[in-house]
Amino acid sequence: MALKRISLDQFSKGIVSHYGKSIITRTEVNSYAALTGVTRPDGWNANPVMKHGKKNAAGYRFDAVSAAKSNRTKIDVNSLGEDKETNEIFEDLDMLTEVVTKRKVNSLIVTGNAGIGKTHSVLHKLDRSGLRKERDYIVLKSKISPLGLYLTLFLHHDKTIVFDDLDDLFNNDDCSAILKACLDSYDVREVSWSSKKMVNVVGVDDETRRRIEDDARDKLLEGETDVALPNRFQFRGQVIFISNMSQEKFDKAVMSRSVCIDMTLTDKQVFSRMKSVVTKLKNKRTAEMAFATIVKKYNDGVLELPNLRTVLNYANVVESGVKNAERLSKYC
């Protein structure tokens, strides 16, 4: 099983909470990493605690609040280049999305850092595969209720549905149950919902059932709100979940029905990806200046790990021509 990569800040918070102390021995660090299935992040050993008269560190100091700022690896803009591992993981995401478009898997779960381009990559691949938004796939970004989820899956029963940062889905047992049904590996994936307002289609012949479903979908597409839905239907589409949430927080049954890719990157990998994107922008010169400023602020401990949106927002601020634009970087 591949080990998960997490940031130094996440690792520090977890290990301090686990052991109830801030000075951790190397053996304890290795044990915690093995127990939680993660790799030791860059900079974990940057703050050794030396014992008098000893050459080797007695332990390493982990501060859950300041570790990422004080011990973070400094980023050299000029030395940043293409990162092979990062390129490969985005290529893998591209290929997995293609597998979904070919209807070979029912569900794909994509997790990782915020703002590294997960959603953009997925949607770009769907478009390049010949799928059209609304006709072949839809993207959901807002909070949704169990009934709203049932209605959405019913209305778009044969499309690819992209859930973008809808993490609340997995905090609701009814939503989880609906998702499990539509992601099953059976030839027939039947989703059901019980309500007095729904039409009971149990035992109804196929032709009548199709007529009831078609009639309900037509009314919904026409904008009617008081529509009697069938209490069960067959879902023939695919689902893609995109989330900044760790895979540990996903419903295990949903994960077992899905292909899962964790795109968590190290700080340096995030900056390498940013640089590769920045060099392709129309306002390349401004974006590169903005990127260099963001890196400096990060190295100075002023900013937490930024994302692509941080750089793009700040580039727009710089391009506006306002005075003292650098001061505004902290708001981006």
The full set of domains in the chain, from first to last, is: 8-70 (no CATH), 84-194+231-262 (3.40.50.300), 279-331 (no CATH)
Tell whether the model's pLDDT for residue 6 goes beyond 70. Answer: yes
Query: Per-residue pLDDT tens for 172-213?
Result: 899 999 999 999 888 789 999 988 889 999 999 999 999 999
d(CA 275, CA 213): 50
Average pLDDT over residues 11-39: 86
- In DSSP terms, 243 is beta-bridged to 111
Residue partners of 29: CB distance under 8 A and separation at least 6: 15, 40, 44, 45, 60
By the 10 Å C-beta count (0-12 exposed, 13-18 middle, 19+ buried), 322 is classed as: exposed
CB-based contact 62:22 (threshold 8 Å): yes
CB-based contact 73:267 (threshold 8 Å): yes
Worst-scoring range by mean pLDDT, 68-77, 151-160, 278-287?
68-77
What pLDDT does residue 293 have?
87
Question: What percentage of residues in the chain have a pLDDT greater than 70?
Answer: 94
Q: Write phi, then psi, for 59 (nearest 5 degrees).
A: 180, -175
Tell whether the model's pLDDT for residue 232 goes beyond 90. Answer: yes
Judged by DSSP in three states, 102 sits in: coil
What pLDDT does residue 71 have?
53
The DSSP code for 158 is T
- In DSSP terms, 48 is beta-bridged to 60
d(CA 108, CA 118): 12
Residue 88 is encoded by which pair of tokens? 């490969």
Confidence of residue 52 (pLDDT cuts 50, 70, 90): low
What pLDDT does residue 72 have?
64
d(CA 156, CA 138): 8
- In DSSP terms, 111 is beta-bridged to 243, 262
Tell whether the model's pLDDT for residue 54 goes beyond 70. Answer: no
Judged by DSSP in three states, 232 sits in: strand
Tell whether the model's pLDDT for residue 68 goes beyond 50. Answer: no
Tell whether the model's pLDDT for residue 64 goes beyond 60. Answer: no
Confidence of residue 142 (pLDDT cuts 50, 70, 90): confident
Helices 267-278 and 284-299 pack at an angle, to 10 degrees, of 160
Query: Per-residue pLDDT tens for 254-275?
Result: 889 999 999 988 888 889 888 8
What pLDDT does residue 216 have?
93
